[in-house]
Amino acid sequence: MPTALTSWADGPAESAIVAFVERVTTPGGSDFVEPADRVAVFDNDGTLWCEKPMPIQLDFIIQRLADLAAADPVLRTRQPWQAAGEHDFAWFGAAMVEHYRGDDTNLTLLMNAVTAAFDTLSVEDYQTRVLEFFAHAAHPTLHRPYRGCGYRPMVELLGYLGDRGFTTYIASGGDRDFMRPIAGTLYGVPPERIIGSAVGLTYRDRGEDSDLVYKAAMDFFDEGPEKPIRIWSRIGRRPILAVGNSNGDLPMLSYTSAQHRPTLPILVAHDDTEREFAYTAGAEEVLARAQRLGWTMVSMKNDWLDIFAPA
Amino acid sequence: MPTALTSWADGPAESAIVAFVERVTTPGGSDFVEPADRVAVFDNDGTLWCEKPMPIQLDFIIQRLADLAAADPVLRTRQPWQAAGEHDFAWFGAAMVEHYRGDDTNLTLLMNAVTAAFDTLSVEDYQTRVLEFFAHAAHPTLHRPYRGCGYRPMVELLGYLGDRGFTTYIASGGDRDFMRPIAGTLYGVPPERIIGSAVGLTYRDRGEDSDLVYKAAMDFFDEGPEKPIRIWSRIGRRPILAVGNSNGDLPMLSYTSAQHRPTLPILVAHDDTEREFAYTAGAEEVLARAQRLGWTMVSMKNDWLDIFAPA
């Protein structure tokens, strides 16, 4: 993993990061923070890797639902299996738009289908499926495999912080166990430092043998106000650095920022139509809060020399 | 923290531990395990510290309920506040016995009172109360403060494993946030490696300020089949070493033991009337399973030269 900020342009974002890290790591300084308390949390979708035109996990899910549709004629005529089988991505996009407008009908159909699709699968078998997906699946427009869709400057930042005694965690709205098998390779972040949404688990004791299998129900969604809750539950410390890109990260950023010691809340702005995607939908509130409180803004267009590592 | 097994008698338990650790840490050996996968999990009550005549956390709770009873005449005549105010420990013991017999009436009263007693308290304020408790509270019969009730051989084992590249976690049925503030001092285990039962949390955003406060409801009890679930949720790896002492640890021990690689499930037997307590109640099933599968047994009487560090 690279550990120098070589993909960062000289500018206010890089300066703010370097200044903050020096401030909290200089022994004897008034803002010195013990290594054990140098906790940094990173959102994943849209912060560490590309989330457009759809979250990578959604592609994984659609492929699984399409497989189920192919094997079962009854499912093939019902949503969301039909949309998955026919690669009707618009159906999934519409379900999300309806959700933001307050209508969860299709999102509920989808979530029920998703948890049913992995019901009674062991955590190890799920891990295998995730690894198979990342071995082959590619981004639909960026001409690179999904495993190459991590943002190079962010991978550098994770390494830079790790080198300076920080412990980095991923605090994602995505499924914890979807990220775990590949976060080591992509980001150098091990499974015990992945926080995310969780599907319920059942412990099966079969005498000499025992394992853990997924339930057909969510345990919790790690989004919005749930993020600081899950960060505390997992770490038991309040982060001093947090990076996000959407309204779902506002509570995590605010929880980090609201302390009587130096903190660094960072907001990534998607403003690079050419090299990635430009969008602010779903980030309106957090952009306003960041501006009001003077949080550090990262412009992908201006602050990042490269967005991805060479293919 | 001590890191040599100096309080352990020469004998089968110590030999089994040393042999296992050498086996999985010898580079080039066929049973070598990478440091990242050297995960060891420890139950707390009755495994790392004394749980008789009552769990230490119960004493903390009773003191809190007694404070509430002292401040409120109405509560003073109702259970469990009345029992707490009158130091009627038998009432609490009976609630547990009734629970094991299938009657949860009084345990439910108690649990509701407990979560109500910390409702809307911030995680930081709770931490302060826990530290105040441990600064003064003492064991009722052992003539030592509660903070001196950790088992010396276990503290050594935690250090011994840490020195050899293991990552140690506490996987307790007790409240996660009750152990976190003192597990560093007592065991050298930091907050992010404490797994335990969890009270629900609420995130409060108050504009520039934000914090986490407890709800008057449990999130989950980390006991029995929930232990392997919470171990996976937190760590994302299957432990190769586990230590417990009661039926509530059976699933965790079994989950550790049921693998196609060397593992070390350890069961602590409370058989020392003179220096600690002798009891098998609540451990019948796990004792039978340990015997049947040949798990490593630790006799507190025979395998431990000291039980506690000098007062």
Mean pLDDT of A247-260: 96
Tens of pLDDT along A268-307? Answer: 999 999 999 999 999 999 999 999 999 999 999 999 999 9
Tens of pLDDT along B180-216? Answer: 999 999 999 999 999 999 999 999 998 778 999 999 9
Does any CB of chain B come closer than 8 Å to the CB of residue A251? yes
Of all residues in chain A, the one with the smallest CA distance to B254 is A210
Q: Where are the strands (E) in chain B, listed by range?
A: 39-42, 167-175, 194-206, 209-220, 241-244, 264-271, 278-279, 296-299
Q: Which one-letter amino acid corresponds to residue A3?
A: T
- pLDDT score of B157 more than 80: yes
Of all residues in chain A, the one with the smallest CA distance to B189 is A36
User: What is the distance in angstroms between the Cα of A245 and the nearest Cα belonging to chain B?
Assistant: 18
Tens of pLDDT along B104-120? Answer: 999 999 999 999 999 99
User: What is the distance in angstroms between the Cα of B254 and the nearest Cα belonging to chain A?
Assistant: 7
- CB contacts under 8 A, A 268-307 vs B, are 293
User: CB distance B211–A180 less than 8 Å?
Assistant: no
- pLDDT score of B1 more than 90: no
Mean pLDDT of A208-225: 94
Q: Which one-letter amino acid corresponds to residue B233?
A: S
Q: Which one-letter amino acid corresponds to residue A155?
A: V
- pLDDT score of A206 more than 90: no
CA distances from A81 to A106, A116, A273 (A): 12, 12, 32
Overall fold of domain B12-52+144-303? Rossmann fold (3.40.50)
User: What is the distance in angstroms between the Cα of A223 and the nearest Cα belonging to chain B?
Assistant: 12
Chain A residues with CB inside 8 Å of B167's CB? 192
List own/partner pairs for B274-281 with CB under 8 A and 24 or more apart. Answer: B275/B300, B275/B301, B275/B307, B276/B50, B276/B52, B276/B142, B276/B300, B276/B307, B277/B50, B277/B52, B277/B53, B279/B52
Among the partner residues A203, A209, A236, nearest to B180 by beta-carbon distance: A236
User: CB distance A205–B254 less than 8 Å?
Assistant: yes
Does any CB of chain A come closer than 8 Å to the CB of residue B176? yes
User: CB distance A236–B198 less than 8 Å?
Assistant: no
CATH architecture label of A12-53+144-197+204-303: 3-Layer(aba) Sandwich (3.40)
Residue spans of the domains in chain A: they are 12-53+144-197+204-303, 56-136
Tens of pLDDT along A18-68? Answer: 999 999 999 999 999 999 999 999 999 999 999 999 999 999 999 999 999
- Amino acid A3: pLDDT: 82
Tens of pLDDT along B229-239? Answer: 999 999 999 99
Residue pointed to by tokens 């086996």: B23
Among the partner residues B191, B205, B226, nearest to A237 by beta-carbon distance: B191
Indicate the SS3 state at residue B51. Answer: coil
Mean pLDDT of B129-157: 97
Does any CB of chain B come closer than 8 Å to the CB of residue A38? no
Say what the ipTM of the complex is: 0.96
Q: For residue B53, name the pLDDT band (cuts at 50, 70, 90).
A: very high
Tens of pLDDT along B59-81? Answer: 999 999 999 999 999 999 999 99
Chain B residues with CB inside 8 Å of A211's CB? 255, 258
Strand B296-299 to strand B278-279: parallel, antiparallel, or no bridges (unpaired)? Answer: unpaired
User: CB distance A229–B205 less than 8 Å?
Assistant: no
